[in-house]
Amino acid sequence: MADDSQQQSTSNPAGTNSNSPTLPVVFQEKICVEKLASISNVESLDVGTELADSSHPDTAVPADDDCNSCGDSDGPPTPSSADWKPISPSVTFVQEMLDEGVNPREILRQLLPNTELPPDLPNSIMLHVIAQLLSEPPKREKLPQYNTLDDVVDLLRRSTNILVLTGAGVSVSCGIPDFRSKDGIYARLHSDFPDLPDPQAMFDIDYFRKNPRPFFDFAQEIYPGQFRPSPSHRFIKSLEDAGKLLRNYTQNIDTLEQVAGISNIVQCHGSFANASCCVCKHQVSCDDIREDIFAKRVPHCLKCPPEDIKAVMKPDIVFFGEDLPSQFHQQITADKDKVDLLIVIGSSLKVRPVALIPSSIPPEVPQVLINREPLSHCTMDVELLGNCDDIISELCLRLGGDEWTKVPPAGTSLLQR
Which amino acids are annotated as binding site, given as ranges?
Answer: 277, 280, 301, 304
Check if the beta carbon of residue 146 is closer than 8 Å to that of residue 381. yes
Q: How far is 235 from 36, CA to CA, in rounded Å?
A: 45
Residue ranges for the known binding site for Zn(2+) are 277, 280, 301, 304
How far is it between the farthest Cα atoms of the chain?
68
Q: How far is 332 from 84, CA to CA, in rounded Å?
A: 7
329 included as an active-site residue:
no
Active-site choice (233, 269, 300, 329): 269
CA distances to 142, 319, 336 from 80, rounded to whole Å, are: 28, 17, 14
Burial degree of 11 (CB within 10 A; 0-12, 13-18, 19+) = middle
Q: How far is 115 from 298, CA to CA, in rounded Å?
A: 46
Residue of 258, 299, 367 whose CA lies nearest to 8: 367
- Give the catalytic positions in this structure: 269
